[in-house]
Amino acid sequence: MRPGYSPFPLLLPPSTSFSPLRTPRIARPQQLLFSYPKKRHRAPPGDSPTRRRRRRRRLAKMAEQLYTVASDSETTGEDKSQPSFPDVAIGIDIGTSKCSVAVWNGHQVELLKNTRNQKGMRSYVMFKDDTLSAGVTGGAAKENAHEERDILSGSAIFNMKRLIGRMDTDEVVQASKTLPFLVQTLGIGVRPFIAALVNNMWRSTTPEEVLAIFLLELKALVEMHLKHPVRNAVLTIPVAFSRFQQTRIERACAMAGLHVLRLMPEPTAVALLYAQQQQQLVNDNMGSGIEKIALIFNMGAGYCDAAVAATAGGVSQIRALSGCTAGGEDILQNIMRHVVPNFDNLYAGQTMDRIQSMSLLRMATQDAIHKLVNQETVEINIDLGNGHKVSKVLDHSEFEQVNRAIFDKCEKIINQCLVDAKLVPEDINDVILVGGCSKIPRIRSLVLGLCKKEISYKNIDALEAAVSGAALEGAIASGVNDPSGSLDLLTIQATPMNLGIRANGDSFAAIIPRNTTVPARRDMLFTTTHDNQTEALIAVYEGEGERAEDNHLLGYFKITGIPAAPKGTVEISVCMDIDATNVLRVFAGVVKPQGPATPPFIEVRMPTLDDGHGWCGQALAKMYGKTLDLAVLPKKLQP
């Protein structure tokens, strides 16, 4: 198809865009225990001293390389001394509950297993006296049942993905207060305080830090497997993640010494895998090669997303995306509240006995939900301590009743996806259900019912699809070329949310509407709202709300030196640009009147805000009122 094409990164490595500025230099936490040096030391019987010495030297060299990557990010991909391995990005799926990692091994995507032979590793970090251990290796626990009890003891932090980049006024953070570790909120719009129980003391940490520790262990696992350092990664994220949350994920990766090549919404990673499978069918002369439209529904423990993708010739174009924060965790909490009606009173404060009793309830409820997938009814019998016993039989109709709000949310995002893609259910060729919660019978029947389908697409593993897609994207974005053509693929991404600025008072003017193909560049003209207005405030928001305040503030800047003129005559252009790596830049400046008296344009990379998003908008309003406002220039006045 493309003659004479060979992996280009040798000449122009994609990693040249990798700026050391974005990656803080952070040394590896010393307390982390890596299992592989120990393993390599174990000499096989009958080993000669010379060979052992040689191996030790090789090991030392390897450790050196590892060190270079972890702490000195200025070494770029051009290091010609190690050309033996191409720098292929790995794919990571960080789930609310489980994580997995996959790599392109030159022929296909390979999912990696940890030392306990698990592909899906529980996402948590255990805090002990002076050691930290993440779910990758399983920490101290040897058995799964024991592990679960340890996780819920208060010493482990989990559900990082639901907490990262959220303010303490966020309802998801509020709901996380029932978790066994400490989530303290003050309700003023700053990051929550989270802490793990160590020696009967709450020790503080942050979601980014916890995620970084986890990623570091994950990275060590991959490096042990590939026997060379790993630098780049493609991560999957929920559709509902704001751009600010994305920067938090990037920061956690940087702390772990990983450079984020792409952040892919989870359903789009699945779409890429689907595109590859369709392409293979065409190559085997079994598929027709005409365009196929797939609806992908992904529901995990923390988030729920839907996407519509049109696939033909290995190109998968994302037509629509939508997502919300509803997942297995919400189902679990609903059931816990249903089983123990005075749940909130009972577990108001986090004392040792309450944490223990709640962890028992959590485990029993989780177990019951899992059983209910295959059974008609399930019995919950637990002794919560203090003479409090719970005994309840739960059936499907009751389960659906309790979680109706969640199923409604799922229905809403699927319908929105279909409307946005301008499709009717009959247009859909395949329905792909992925994620842990896609096993729930009600979810399956709901999605299939909305798409008027009898069965879902079968060739995709519900738990491994996202990570496999991420690894594929990693190989493609790293410039790997496969002679058999199985990498002649492309995902054309779309924006999941409207991007725009505040204008016409408190309204939100969307400059790049949602589901716009990325890379994208759109501009819009604005004008002044006061006579002789010389300054204007550009407040950039992301979201679906009609009013600017309902959306997420990404950043703001001021245009100064606007020539004095009657209101409504000056033309100010605001242009938004998203490049292939999903970086958002905003350009703004005066376009009319032209001349040497106008100030130069301003280019700002978003998001600029680090914290206190709610506050900033209020503070700006208080400080300046309407003096710096802009209005959308009506279309009929535009040339």
**Which residues here bind another protein, judged by CB under 8 A?**
2-9, 11-12, 14, 291, 312-315, 422, 476-477, 479, 488, 490-492, 517, 519-523, 575, 579-580
Nearer Cβ to another protein (519/568) = 519
Q: How far is the CB of 280 from another protein (least distance, A)?
A: 17
DSSP string, 321-374: EEEES--HHHHHHHHHHHHSTTHHHHTSS--HHHHHHHHHHHHHHHHHHHHHTT
Query: Would you put residue 363 in left (φ > 0), alpha (ψ -120 to 50) or beta?
Result: alpha
Which residues make Cβ contacts (< 8 Å) with residue 575, sequence separation at least 6?
511, 521, 522, 523, 524, 586, 587, 588
Nearer Cβ to another protein (139/474) = 474
Q: What is the 3-state secondary structure (H, E, C) of 479-492?
A: CCCCCCCCCCCEEE
Q: Please name the helix (run of DSSP H) or strand (run of DSSP E) that holds residue 555, with its range, or none.
A: strand 552-559
Nearer Cβ to another protein (13/436) = 13
Nearer Cβ to another protein (189/485) = 485
Q: Please, what's the b/e burial string for 13-47 (b: 16 or more CB within 10 A of its CB; e: otherwise)?
A: bbbeebeeeebeeeebeeeeebebeeebeeeeeee
Nearer Cβ to another protein (12/373) = 12
Nearer Cβ to another protein (261/336) = 261
Q: How far is the CB of 510 from another protein (least distance, A)?
A: 11
Q: How far is the CB of 113 from another protein (least distance, A)?
A: 29
Q: Where are the beta strands (DSSP E) in 215-290?
A: 232-237, 259-265
3-state secondary structure of 512: strand
Q: How far is the CB of 604 from another protein (least distance, A)?
A: 17
Instruction: Point out which residues pair with 380 in neighbouring strands.
Output: 392
Which amino acid, residue 54? R
Nearer Cβ to another protein (383/579) = 579
Q: What is the 3-state secondary structure (H, E, C) of 452-507?
A: CCCCCCCCCCCCCHHHHHHHHHHHHHCCCCCCCCCCCCEEECECCCCEEEEECCCE
CB 538 within 8 A of CB 524: no
Nearer Cβ to another protein (204/517) = 517
Q: How far is the CB of 580 from another protein (least distance, A)?
A: 3
Q: How far is the CB of 573 from another protein (least distance, A)?
A: 11
Q: How far is the CB of 489 from another protein (least distance, A)?
A: 9
Euclidean distance between CA atoms 530 and 369, whole angstroms: 60
Q: How far is the CB of 288 from another protein (least distance, A)?
A: 13
Q: How far is the CB of 513 from another protein (least distance, A)?
A: 9
Write down the residue that tokens 């859909």 correspond to.
428
Q: How far is the CB of 256 from another protein (least distance, A)?
A: 24
Nearer Cβ to another protein (2/142) = 2
CB 590 within 8 A of CB 574: no
Nearer Cβ to another protein (70/475) = 475
Euclidean distance between CA atoms 476 and 473, whole angstroms: 5
Give the dihedral sign, CA 257/259/263/269. negative
Q: How far is the CB of 452 from another protein (least distance, A)?
A: 19
Nearer Cβ to another protein (32/490) = 490
Which amino acid, residue 490? L
Q: Distances in Å between the alpha carbon of 333 and those of 103, 176, 341, 361, 366?
A: 35, 10, 12, 10, 10
Q: How far is the CB of 520 from another protein (least distance, A)?
A: 7
Q: Distances in Å between the alpha carbon of 179 and those of 29, 133, 554, 601?
A: 26, 19, 29, 48
Closest CA to 613 of 170, 163, 23: 170
